[in-house]
Chains A and B, each alone.
Chain A
Amino acid sequence: MNESIKIKLLSATIAIAISTPVSAFNIGNFAQKLQEQMSNIQQPGAQAQNGKSNSKAMSVEKAVELSCKTIYGAPFKSKQLPSSDVEVVSQYLKTPSNLDEILLVDFDKAYSGSFTGFTSNLIPQLDNKYAEQLAEGYVREPGVRMFAQVIHAANTADKTDETDNDMNFLAPSDRSVTKTLLAYLLLQYKDSGVVKDSGAAYKLLKQNDEKVKIAATMVGRMHLYGDLAEQDFSAAFAGISRGDGDVTKYKLNAKTYADVLINPPKGTPQSNINRLKAVAERGKGLMDYVNKERKKAHGTAAYKEAQKLLAEGVKIDQITAEALGAGDKFADAKAKASLLIGEAKGEQDQLKYNVQVSEKTMAELEGVMNSGASMSEDSKKKFEEATQRRIKAHLKLNDLTPRIIATGMFQGAETAQLVNAYKRKSCSFLRRAKTFAKEVALKIEPPMSNEELADVTSDVSF
């Protein structure tokens, strides 16, 4: 692999995504203000001419969105379904009245065995933008509505597989990958008592395991462990082999290799274990190389600027925490970061410390927002100001990324990774801040009119 390709690959992994639609900001005064902030902040690098903004300058919201889209992809846009959500999900699920809650609550369930639970890590392994957007949508809102969207997509998405003959490359169709996603979701709810056919997930995976790598991996795991399909080592290793040995991209497959090498299921043939070991060793060699190049980026100007911006990030977190009435969360995050990093002796330690504090604070504050925190007018103002500063810092860091990368193939890798970690969290937080503002402005549905209630009572017998 030549140097430029490597740089491009690394760049792609460092880019950050935010995937909230622009229209999410049009509800309520608080939400509107945040939207205005995003529209009015001068994007770094954009020049003002004659007191007016450069009309060609991209809006800040667009810039943030674009910066974040690289990894997460565009948000999934809900499709109009042919019937109600409940009717659509009834193809695969039973529909008790509390189904929505079951889907929400059990989405976090973890399992042991072949299927260990649906996590966000699985999403990039789908390796299909359409399915990834759909999966992101489901992660954001697990429940009947999004499950119906997944089923609808699995039934109707484009079914054309793409083949590049020169590269001998096969890209499975959106429908195939979406069916795989559906299978994984069905597995997630396997113990929830709502899946109509316990064999449906296996059937969906089996239909697609020759094209979709993560389908092959799961079929392999099912046969390896013998808990969700008949134990069959031949079928298991066929599936795992088909799943791809790329330990960076297809983590579930890599995990399967590790599972087998560390603690192989009873009866696993030694020849298969040896084969997997050889692949894993190749992965280890790559990691050694990365480690050798690690510290070359220290001392660059980009590094210094990153350090300054990440320190600013900590200040922003503090203001945001205060606005949300969660100053204690900020203090906790600082304490935890100190414990983790130890005494910050050098610049790199300080950088790590700041990123740790920010990551932890933002995670905690997302939790505060998730709990439905209410805000006074003063707090809203503070929150808006902090968000404005966060957007600016985010965009500056985004500009910084190519400069860090430009220091050399793996120079600055560690700094870039820290910046990447910060921005990833920042994207997630900004997205959450936007939806939070929207939620604060959301109004509950008004009571039914007398006429509507009369309709409800008109067709009953007792």
Chain B
Amino acid sequence: MMINRREFLSKSALALTSFFLPLEKLANAASKDEVIWSGVYYGVPTPDVPRLLNAVSQGIEASGGLSVLQKKCFGLLASTYGAENVVNGVLEKQEVETSSLYFMLTFDFEQFLDVPDIAGGASDKMLGIVFNSIKVVQLSLGDEDVRGRFKVKYTIPFYTKFIGDRVPHKTAVKNMLYDSAGSGLSIVDYYANKINGLGFKEIFCTEDMEGCGQAPLNFRVSKVNIQKKAVLALEELGISKYLSESFIGNSLASALSMKTSAITSPFGSTYAFSSYDGFPSIFFERDKVAAITDAALSAENDDAYELEVTLIKVIRKKTQSSKTRRGYKRILVFGVKAFDGYWDRKQIFKAAIAIDASGWVPTSLIKKGRVKELEAKAFSELTITVFEKLFDGVVNLSWDTLGSIGMKKDKTEKMVTDLRVAISKSVP
């Protein structure tokens, strides 16, 4: 007979002391239904995977297939919570006795750019970005009187970048999955870092701990707009498909999550902190989990905070000119709004933010028609950077940082404070 959650937790020496601290192995715990590795999923419908997550799916295959990645993620979960406490795979319905935490890793969006080398090298360079998310789902089965519940409790979007000499995209993904990826942590390392660092309260809850296990509030990027002039500028630059709503939305969500640790729904996904009553038995079929959560949670959600972002201006102007090079200044202007509450929506933040950068473009590349890729790379990087600066500036109340994206203290101080409070409520 399985022990229940409380029994499991009561045996944990860490139960009362480390809600927010990195977890040690729970060596003596015995439950197999508390921490479950639930798998790796694509955040798009299966038929769209070859088109929308082409590099990721090929990269996974090239690096040994899904089973290798599953095993690696499971191993990391086991090493964090103790191998004896972690179950690999979704349980059969009859085996679930109480609430459990299901850990998943999903791939939500990818963007790969082959960029010419502006230093004149013969080989192309590359910028690859994969947006991923860690999701932690909680289940309760209910009984004859109470229907079972399904709740996505934590979603942690993040991106991984690959910058370097051009290689086949699948090779880049292989690198991004397991190695340093040339920029920050690999996908697996980020996953390990987060599951180790967050300290999920549910695992330590006991009956006398009021409110324990209650998830923090969360953010969701609910809308991405691109104003008409910006649409035109993107079209003229030939980069509409790169600076897309998906890219902007995913960048904003990831920047918020990565810079502040606020729980944030991945953009475009309907995974959220919602409950779903009466989940069907199909839930327990491993390959259907993503689809079910996606469909089930779209209708009702009670996200605590919503973000809306508007791309207002895309400017690229020539500042210098010579026979071989053109110097360009690139400017992006976004408008960001934050709302408190889903049902009773109240705007708590509204500010325009801007970023600029200058760079050379060899005229030889202009003649070869390779500017589009350069612009796509430059504006993609600016997009991510301006959002990171926004949230970095807000959580650290740094007016140097906020000033560097065009925000003025005298006009936005109150809003920044309100957004900061909202973020603090969303950090586990």
Name A's B-contacting residues (CB within 8 A).
Answer: 96-98, 100-101, 104-105, 108, 140-141, 143-145, 368-374, 432, 435-436, 438-439, 442, 444-448, 450, 453-454, 456-458, 460, 462
Contacts and interface: CB of A to CB of B under 8 A. Distances in A.
Nearest to B327: A444
If over half of A's interface residues share one DSSP class (helix, strand or loop), that class is named, otherwise mixed; here it is helix
B406 A444 contact: no
B322 interface: yes
A456 B327 CA distance: 20
A442 B358 contact: no
Contact of A445 (B120, B236, B320, B335): B320
A372 to B, nearest CB: 4
A436 B324 contact: yes
Given A453-B406, A460-B313, A462-B335, A432 B323 contact: yes
B428 interface: no
Given A371-B364, A372-B360, A460 B236 contact: no
Interface of B: 118-120, 225, 227, 233, 236-238, 310, 312-313, 316, 318-327, 329, 331, 333, 335, 337, 351-360, 362-364, 366-367, 369, 371, 403-408
Contact of B237 (A98, A144, A435, A445): A98
B400 to A, nearest CB: 8
B406 A454 contact: yes
A141 B320 CA distance: 12
19 contacts: A97-B316, A98-B237, A104-B366, A104-B367, A140-B323, A370-B323, A370-B364, A371-B364, A373-B120, A442-B327, A444-B320, A444-B358, A444-B359, A445-B327, A450-B404, A453-B405, A454-B406, A456-B333, A462-B337
A96 B233 CA distance: 8
If over half of B's interface residues share one DSSP class (helix, strand or loop), that class is named, otherwise mixed; here it is strand
Contacts of A439: 322-325
Q: Quick one: which of B325, B327, B354, B369 has the most chain A CB within 10 A?
A: B354
Contacts of B362: 370-372
Contacts of B118: 372
Given A97-B233, A101-B366, A454-B407, A460 B335 contact: yes
Contact of B358 (A371, A373, A447): A447
Nearest to B119: A374
B324 A447 contact: no
Contacts of B323: 140-141, 370, 432, 435, 439
B396 to A, nearest CB: 16
Nearest to B326: A100
Contacts of A453: 354-356, 403-406
A105 B237 contact: no
A77 to B, nearest CB: 16
Given A432-B323, A439-B324, 20 more contacts: A97-B237, A97-B316, A98-B237, A98-B238, A98-B371, A100-B318, A101-B366, A371-B324, A372-B120, A372-B325, A372-B364, A438-B322, A444-B358, A444-B360, A445-B327, A456-B313, A456-B333, A460-B312, A460-B335, A462-B335
B363 A450 contact: no
Contacts of A98: 236-238, 371
Given A97-B236, A438-B322, A450-B406, A462 B316 contact: no
Nearest to B371: A101
Contacts of A373: 120
Contacts of A370: 323-324, 362-364
A460 B333 contact: yes
Q: Quick one: which of A141, A435, A447, A453 has the most chain B CB within 10 A?
A: A453
